Amino acid sequence: MAQIFCFGDSITYGAWDVAGSGWAQGLRMYLDKKQEEDDGLYFLIYNLGIPGETTDGLINRFLSETKARIREERQEENIFIFAYGANDAAVIPSQNKFRVDIKNFENNLENVIDQAKKFGNKIFILNITPVNEEFTASPVNKDKSRLNKYIEIYNEKIKKIADNKNIYFIDINSAFMANDYKSLFCEDGLHPNKSGHKIIFNELLKSMKSVMDLDG
């Protein structure tokens, strides 16, 4: 028995993917089907993505969200998936700063990972997808800019954190870059479309299968 906590932002939530509701919903549908085929499997999947959230928001709600769902009497395994950075790495041009600077981003993730380890030892972290800068560099009527050169800096930090904390790192960015990444987004150039979410799901599932018994 296992509970899977998917913490993230609008991409985890599944925003703009009208057809499939995102990779986290895809994971739930996959595991629900597995359970239908084998009653020895049992999973609860929580999509805890909040549109617009940064790691500042994550650090404020992680414990309350987690403790509200853990049932100690059931002795379930707790598995955590974190997908953050797209909002942290956004630049606010009028203030000439990132929404969450790289040091605070690092501290937030390390803090939350340390907390998660108290509940379970399987922790996965996704890095940040690239963006189509034709739409994200200077979005109309938004004081927020996203550039791939800054995403690369935050992704380097995510990889370093994963290595230092000995958790499972999933390189979504490289998977997008290898698959004509501009075609994998909705019209805003930021949120993955159905095909983009499918790539995220496939990369995540591949990693999860390597460390979990998903076949009974």
Domain count across the chain: 1
- Whether 157 maps to a domain, the answer reads yes
CATH no. for residue 68? Answer: 3.40.50.1110
- Quick check: 168 and 117 in contact, CB under 8 A? no
Q: State the average pLDDT over residues 202-216.
A: 85
- Whether 142 maps to a domain, the answer reads yes
Q: State the average pLDDT over residues 189-215.
A: 92
Which pLDDT score is estimated for 19?
73
Q: Considering the chain, what is the average pLDDT of its residues?
A: 94
In sequence order, which ranges of 82-171 are alpha helices (DSSP H)? 102-116, 133-136, 148-165
- Whether 146 maps to a domain, the answer reads yes
- Whether 215 maps to a domain, the answer reads no
- Whether 194 maps to a domain, the answer reads yes
Confidence of residue 41 (pLDDT cuts 50, 70, 90): confident
Which pLDDT score is estimated for 8?
98
Confidence of residue 18 (pLDDT cuts 50, 70, 90): confident
pLDDT tens, 145-160? 999 999 999 999 999 9
- Whether 214 maps to a domain, the answer reads no
- Whether 18 maps to a domain, the answer reads yes
Confidence of residue 183 (pLDDT cuts 50, 70, 90): very high
Of the listed ranges 102-106, 179-183, 202-206, 210-214, the one predicted with least confidence: 210-214
Q: State the average pLDDT over residues 83-99.
A: 96
For residue 146, what are the domain limits? 2-209
Which pLDDT score is estimated for 141?
66
Closest residue by Cα to residue 46 from 86, 1, 8: 8
Structure tokens at 145: 């800019």
- Whether 216 maps to a domain, the answer reads no
Which pLDDT score is estimated for 111?
98
Long-range contacts of 212-216 (CB under 8 A, 24+ apart): 212/2, 212/79, 212/122, 214/31, 214/34, 214/41, 215/34, 215/38, 216/38, 216/40, 216/41
